[in-house]
Amino acid sequence: MKLLVLPCDGIGPEIIAASMQALEVVDSKFGLGLSLEYDDAGFVSLEKYGTTLRDSVLEKARHEYDGVILGTQSHADYPAPEKGGRNVSAGFRIGLDLYANVRPARTRPFIESNMKPGKTMDLVIMREATEGFYPDRNMHLGWAELMPSPDMAISLRKITAHCSNRIARRAFELASKRRKKVTAVHKANSFHQTDGLFLREVRKVAAEFPDVQLDDLLIDASTAHLVRNPERFDVICATNFYGDILSDLASELSGSLGLAGSMMASDTKCCAQAQHGSAPDIQNQDKANPVSMMLSCAMLLHWLGETRALPAYEQAFYAIDKAIDTVLSDPASRTPDLGGKTGTKRFGALVAEALKAA
């Protein structure tokens, strides 16, 4: 199984390196036959090739690899697109049609959450990732923001039946394997046509899954319920912008954004990507928490196992997930963001040791 690894910017190379320690162990332990090949993206690519993401890298990812492991990017600091500052994550989402951004969030009994005492969380946000209010990815040509005058800016939102239907389908398929509940998040009381179209398609799909309960919430009410009553959520289905905001909120409430995995998938390709940013302020200081990247890599393995009927890959996912919890359960083994003193490299080594011992 060939995986393309792109360390990218900031703490990306560090958390990728720590994650590779875990992948090397499960590769050997479960006989996965992984082949990891590295290439450049982000600032390193910009310096070498004049662009943060070459078309040739996307072509390789599309035709030569079974999956992608994508490090963090400092795209807010990139130059303008016409000067080579291409949004790497958006490039992969559009280039490989990675429409399903899957973002779990769960509490751990041994890590203090940021919720009310006694509250727990175990949910997955299924975020549509190829359209919505993102001007760099919702147009075939051009940019979906414009300034008719120096004092006026306009941004266009695109919602299609096709994209709404397929993200809803993925949400119901996942919920049918969990607690059988989907919550559609929207603002149809204001965005009558766009969110109305999204809800129409969600309800169409819901009719095909009679065993899965569907409810819907306004985006503003959803944030309140995440804080007050997170147990009500199983799978949240959302358009791009809402899903992006809710996933950061849910992960931080559950303990830390650094503890939440994330993957982007099409029907045939999958990309692991940490849920958080590139944190250039702690770059090369051995302080970064690699858990999100590790879990994202594990999710990629699970997706490969599930879509290609490879049970060993799914077993590897559960092994990594358990090993991470084993290490996190010891406060002394945690990284500084979680109150510990363990460095990024050492944390990766500890997870690898836990995998070997299991």
Catalytic choice (78, 99, 134, 313)? 134
Segments of the chain assigned E as strands: 2-6, 35-38, 67-70, 100-106, 122-128, 145-149, 152-155, 181-186, 213-218, 235-238, 263-265, 270-273
List the beta bridge partners of residue 272: 69, 263
Catalytic choice (9, 97, 158, 187)? 187
Cα–Cα distance for residue pair 229/119, rounded to 1 Å: 8
Task: Give the CA diameter of the chain.
Answer: 64
The one-letter code for the residue type at 214 is L
Q: Considering just the CA atoms, what is the radius of gyration of the chain in Å? A: 20
318 belongs to the catalytic site:
no
220 belongs to the catalytic site:
yes
Cα–Cα distance for residue pair 211/340, rounded to 1 Å: 44
Tokens of 321: 């997930």
Cα–Cα distance for residue pair 184/215, rounded to 1 Å: 6
- What count of residues does the chain have? 358
Catalytic choice (220, 267, 341, 356)? 220
Task: Give the C-alpha distances (Å, rounded to integers) separating 278 from 43, 74, 228, 293.
Answer: 12, 6, 30, 11
Catalytic choice (158, 244, 269, 287)? 244
Tokens of 56: 């040739």
| CB 188, CB 199: distance < 8 Å | yes
Catalytic choice (248, 321, 325, 337)? 248
Beta-carbon contacts of 183 under 8 Å, excluding residues fewer than 6 positions away, are: 214, 215, 216, 217, 222, 232, 233, 234, 235, 236, 237
- The catalytic residue positions are 134, 187, 220, 244, 248
